[in-house]
Amino acid sequence: MVNKKEIRRAARTVIFDDSINKIAILEVKDGDYHKIPGGGVEDNESIEETALREAIEEGACDVELITKLGEFEFKSPEFPCLFNHSVCFLARKIREHKTPNFTKEEMSNKFKLLWLSFDEAIRLFENVRSKIQFELEMNNRDLKFVMIAKKYLADNKNKFAPN
């Protein structure tokens, strides 16, 4: 019997607050690894709608999508036929909400929203403590997206100068 490849589609977002020159990062499991806001596509959402919803839920803000940064796919070590396919966007924070709206699972994994400079965020991603392959894959995926976003903003700095 041949196992069918299943793809979990998700959107990720590097949320940039140009008023303080920082990005939104999620600390997970007391800093075992880090992520950027994002999650799976629900129902008939477009990938852009997913990015906007997840920015509200995990980043506690409304955003304006600026550009697509790229796509990344990795296999789930626990489920060899499940592929995690993420599309990542760079977004500008336009309105803040009081707190993130984490799921029960995210709360049990001790998600914490941080606003950090690109260099601070990159250091956290590079110093991952987790030994779990799936967590390492997510951490490395999001490190790549953060580095691409940093370069994009540097190359387009006149558009994104602090207010």
Is 108 among the domain residues? yes
Q: Does residue 61 contact residue 97 with C-beta atoms inside 8 Å?
A: yes
- Considering the domain boundaries, does residue 161 fall inside one? no
* Structural domain contains residue 160: no
Cβ contact 100:58 at 8 Å? yes
- Please count the structural domains in the chain: 1
Confirm whether 117 is domain-assigned.
Answer: yes
Please report, as a single letter, which amino acid is at residue 60. Answer: A
Q: Find the domain containing 55 and state its range.
A: 6-155
Structural domain contains residue 77: yes
What is the CATH classification number for the domain harbouring 143?
3.90.79.10
Residue 106 resides in a domain: yes
Tokens of 18: 């140009």
Cα separation, 57 vs 63, in Å, equals: 12
Rounded distance between C-alpha atoms, residue 130 and residue 121, angstroms: 16
In order along its 163 residues, the chain shows pLDDT tens digits of 456 788 899 999 999 999 999 999 999 999 999 999 999 999 999 999 999 999 999 999 999 999 999 999 988 777 778 899 999 999 999 999 989 999 999 999 999 999 999 999 999 999 999 999 889 999 999 999 999 999 999 999 777 655 4
